Amino acid sequence: MRNGSEWVYGPGDLAEGGWESVVDARIPGWQHTGLRVAELDGSADSGATVALAAGDVERMIVPLAGSFTVEYDEQGAATASQVLVGRASVFDGPTDVLYLGAGTSATIGGHGRVAVTEAVTAERRPAAYLPASAVPVELRGGGQSSRQVHNFGVPGALDAVKLIACEVITPAGNWSSYPPHKHDEHRPGVESRLEEIYYFETAVTRGAEAPAEAAPFAVFATYSSDERPIAIDARVGSGDIALVPHGYHGPAVAAPGYDLYYLNVMAGPDAERSWLITDDPAHGWVRRTWDADGMDARLPYASTGSAASTGAPASTDTTASTEGAPL
C-alpha cells in the first residue's frame, strides 16, 4: 500500500504472475470489480503474453500504450483474434478496446502497457470491438475543472452486464473527479451502489521542457459519507491504484506542470447497470460556475502524431458537457 492508506497501492504491490498489478476479490472488502495491468515486451524472440482464464467475470481490454493482439475463446465458439491498434500513450486521445463477456478465456500479446478492466457476473454477453473512432469523447466541466472523458465502457456505449469503464485526462493544474461525489447507496433513480477503481498515470504537460529529474504527480482524496470510515489523502503517480469501496471521492488534482490520466472501473450489486451519483452538498454548487468559466483551450488531447504512426486518431469529435457524473 501507499500513502499510509489501505486503499492505495503502488506498481508491484499487487503483482501476480506476469501482471504488474491485479485487483480482485482477494483484497479484503473488495467484491465487484477488478483490474489487471501488464507491461509486455512483444519482440519476436520473447513470446511475452499474459493469459485471462474463463470464469464468471466480464472484461474490457484497454491498451494504455502500444499495440496488442488478443486471441480469445468464447464458450462454444471457435478461437477468434482481434488486433488492438492502441496508441502512443494515454495522453494521445482514445484507443480502440475489446469487450469479452463472462466465460471467455484470452491471451494478450504485444508491446507496451495494457489494462484489463473486470466486473463479476455469471451472465454472458458476446465479445465486441470498439474502434477508437467510435469512442464517445466528452469535454466536461469548465475553467480549472475542465477535463476530457473517453466513455468507451459506460451505459449507452457498451452492452455489458455490470461493467462500467471510462478514462479521464486532466491537464496540468486542473481538478477532476470534482465536486466530490459518492455512489454507495441504492436509491432508485437517484444513486446507485458502485465500487470504483482509479488507475493513474502522470506525465510532464504537453509542450513543457522539464529537467530529467522531473517527477510527475497528482493528488487524490476520499472521505466518509456515513458511519463507514475511509480516508485517502494521497500523492499518486504512474502505476498507482486507488480503491473506493464507499464514501465521497475527489478531487483528483493534476499538479502544475504535470498532466493526469486515470482509468475508472465500476460495478456493484444493484440489478440495474446504472451510474448515478450524489454530490457532497457542501460542494455541488460549483457545477453552476462551469458555463461562465468556459472550456480549457488545451482540450481536447488527441494524437500528437499521425493516426498511422501512433494508432490513435489524429483528431477527435468531441461533445462539450457540464452534466452527468463528475469525473
- The pLDDT, as a whole number, for residue 214 is 98
Average pLDDT over residues 147-163: 97
Strands 49-52 vs 241-244: parallel, antiparallel or unpaired: unpaired
The secondary structure element, H or E, covering residue 182 is: strand 181-182
In angstroms, rounded to a whole number, what is the distance separating the alpha carbons of residues 261 and 37? 15
Please tell me the number of Cα atoms within 13 Å of 101 on its side-chain side: 15
Q: What percent of the chain has pLDDT over 70?
A: 91
3-state DSSP call for residue 306? Answer: coil
Indicate if the pLDDT at residue 88 is higher than 60. yes
- The pLDDT, as a whole number, for residue 43 is 58
Indicate if the pLDDT at residue 102 is higher than 80. yes
* Cis peptide bond prior to 251, omega within 30° of 0: yes
Please say whether the beta carbons of 300 and 216 come within 8 A.
no
Nearest C-alpha neighbor of 249 from the set 116, 236, 320:
236
- The pLDDT, as a whole number, for residue 323 is 44
User: At residue 317, what are phi and psi to the nearest 5 degrees?
Assistant: -75, 135
- The pLDDT, as a whole number, for residue 312 is 39
Indicate if the pLDDT at residue 324 is higher than 90. no
In angstroms, rounded to a whole number, what is the distance separating the alpha carbons of residues 229 and 209? 42
Average pLDDT over residues 81-89: 97
The secondary structure element, H or E, covering residue 321 is: strand 319-321
- The pLDDT, as a whole number, for residue 118 is 98
Average pLDDT over residues 79-98: 97
Mean pLDDT (the chain) is 92
Indicate if the pLDDT at residue 314 is higher than 50. no
Indicate if the pLDDT at residue 310 is higher than 50. no
Average pLDDT over residues 102-110: 97
Rounded to an integer, what is the distance from CA 190 to the centroid of its chain? 23
Tens-place pLDDT, residues 14-40: 999 999 999 999 999 999 999 999 999
**The C-alpha cell of 327 is what?**
469525473
In angstroms, rounded to a whole number, what is the distance separating the alpha carbons of residues 112 and 273? 32
Indicate if the pLDDT at residue 291 is higher than 80. yes
3-state DSSP call for residue 109? Answer: strand
Concatenating the DSSP letter of every residue in 17-66 gives TTBSEEESTTSTT--SEEEEEEEE---TTT--EEEE--SSEEEEEEEEEE
Helices (H), the chain: 290-293, 307-310
pLDDT band at 42 (very low <50, low <70, confident <90, very high): confident
In angstroms, rounded to a whole number, what is the distance separating the alpha carbons of residues 70 and 62? 11
Tens-place pLDDT, residues 183-213: 999 999 999 999 999 999 999 999 899 999 9
The domain segmentation of the chain, as residue ranges, is 8-290
In angstroms, rounded to a whole number, what is the distance separating the alpha carbons of residues 237 and 234? 10
Please say whether the beta carbons of 38 and 15 come within 8 A.
no
Indicate if the pLDDT at residue 57 is higher than 70. yes
Tens-place pLDDT, residues 207-252: 899 999 999 999 999 999 999 999 999 999 999 999 999 999 999 9
Fold of the domain built from segment(s) 8-290: Jelly Rolls (2.60.120)
Residues 258-283, buried b or exposed e (16+ Cβ, 10 A)? bbbbbbbbbbbebeebbbbbbbbeeb
Please say whether the beta carbons of 79 and 21 come within 8 A.
no
Find where cell 488478443 sits: 70
Indicate if the pLDDT at residue 81 is higher than 70. yes
